[in-house]
């Protein structure tokens, strides 16, 4: 699986302003669900917050990968929804390493989906855990620049 199979440049937010974990999740959920009929932003946010109560989805190094599974309308299909945000300022995410988070990759999967969402989560984790790559992402000013870094990373990792 490649990042461009689950994320597009349109799914990238650079300079997201938020003061808390809940506000980040809410803003990203609202943007993600805005154009999808039948997918209620509040319902998705509730699922994300419940997942966070089970354990923080920060993976360390200023990166979080909030994710959940929830009912999807039939019109969406079986593909997980994803979004990547580079925050304007890092926020407290209750991370195990106590580092504030400034890169957030969100994944929402249909509740009946098999292991595809786990593959997508593993891909995001692998790409974002690379410290040099995450530092480059933090320096980006546009979604296109982020997209370029993610795609060049896949080329070097494909070998």
Which neighbouring-strand residues pair with 16? 87
Catalytic site residue from 47, 67, 112, 117: 67
Which regions of the chain does DSSP assign to beta strands (E)?
12-16, 58-60, 63-64, 67-70, 81-91, 101-110
Token reading at 83:
């979004």
The residue to which tokens 């070998």 are assigned = 159
Helices 143-158 and 131-138 cross at an angle (nearest 10°) of 160
The residue to which tokens 């926020």 are assigned = 91
Q: Is 67 a catalytic site residue?
A: yes
> Which residues are tagged catalytic?
67
């Amino acid at each position: 699986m490649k990042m461009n199979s689950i994320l597009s440049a349109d799914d990238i937010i650079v300079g997201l302003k938020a003061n808390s974990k809940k506000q980040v999740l809410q803003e990203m959920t609202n943007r993600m669900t805005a154009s999808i009929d039948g997918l209620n932003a509040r319902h998705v946010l509730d699922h994300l917050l419940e997942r966070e109560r089970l354990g923080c989805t920060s993976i360390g190094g200023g990166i979080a990968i909030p994710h959940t599974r929830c009912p999807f309308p039939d019109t969406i299909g079986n593909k997980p929804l994803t979004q990547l945000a580079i925050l304007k300022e890092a926020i407290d995410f209750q991370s195990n390493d106590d580092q504030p988070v400034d890169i957030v990759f969100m994944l929402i999967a249909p509740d009946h989906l098999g292991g595809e969402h786990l593959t997508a989560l593993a891909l995001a984790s692998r790409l974002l855990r690379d410290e040099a790559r995450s530092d480059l992402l933090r320096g980006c000013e546009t979604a296109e620049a982020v997209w370029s870094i993610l795609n060049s990373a896949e080329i070097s990792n494909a070998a």
